[in-house]
Amino acid sequence: MFERKHRLAQVRSLAAEALTAVSLLNRHMQMESADQIRFRDVHDTLSRAALRLEGLRDSLRGLLDLQLSLQNQRMNEVVKTLTAVSTVFLPLTFLAGVWGMNFESMPELGWRYGYVMAIASFVLTAVGLAVYFKRRQWW
C-alpha cells in the first residue's frame, strides 16, 4: 500500500507539472485558434486527471487509516489477553511465594494434606479467575 501511495504521489506530481507546462505554453505562445482549442482540451484533460488523482490519494489515505486502526485493534486484543493471563498468574505467584518461605511455624507444613491444599488452591484460583475473565469476555 505504501508503494502505491508513493507511485500515486509521483504520478500526481507529473500531472501537476504537465498541467503547469501546458498552461505556460498556452499563455506565452501565439497559436492559431485550432491549436488553442487543442491546448485547452489537453489542459482540461490534465485538470480532470489531477482531480481524479487527488481523489485517489484521499481514498488511499482512508485505506491506510483503516489498516492502521485494524492493526491497533488487533494489538489491543493481544494486550488484553496477555493482561488477563498475567492477572491469573499474579495470585498464584503470591501463593507460591508465601508457601515457599522456610518458616517452622506454618501450620500447613505439618498437616498431612497441606500439599494437596496448596495445589488445590492454585488450581481453584487459576480456574476461578479464568472463568471470571471468560464470562466478562476479557479473554
Q: Please give the average pLDDT of every successive group of 10 residues along the chain, which has 139 residues.
A: 84 88 82 81 88 89 93 93 88 87 77 86 92 85
Query: What integer pLDDT is reported at residue 68 of this predicted model?
Result: 93
CATH classification at residue 125: 1.20.58.340
- The values of phi and psi at residue 106, to 5°, are -85, 115
Query: What integer pLDDT is reported at residue 109 of this predicted model?
Result: 74
Query: What integer pLDDT is reported at residue 76 of this predicted model?
Result: 93
Alpha helices in the chain (DSSP H): 2-28, 33-99, 107-110, 114-135
The boundaries of the domain holding residue 79 are 2-135
Cell 481523489 belongs to which residue? 55
Residue type (1 letter), 56: L
Query: What integer pLDDT is reported at residue 74 of this predicted model?
Result: 94
CA 137 vs CA 10, 88, 91: distances in Å: 47, 14, 20
Query: What integer pLDDT is reported at residue 98 of this predicted model?
Result: 84
Query: What integer pLDDT is reported at residue 72 of this predicted model?
Result: 96
Total number of domains in the chain: 1
Angle (CA) 42 44 46, round 5°: 70
pTM above 0.85, yes or no: no
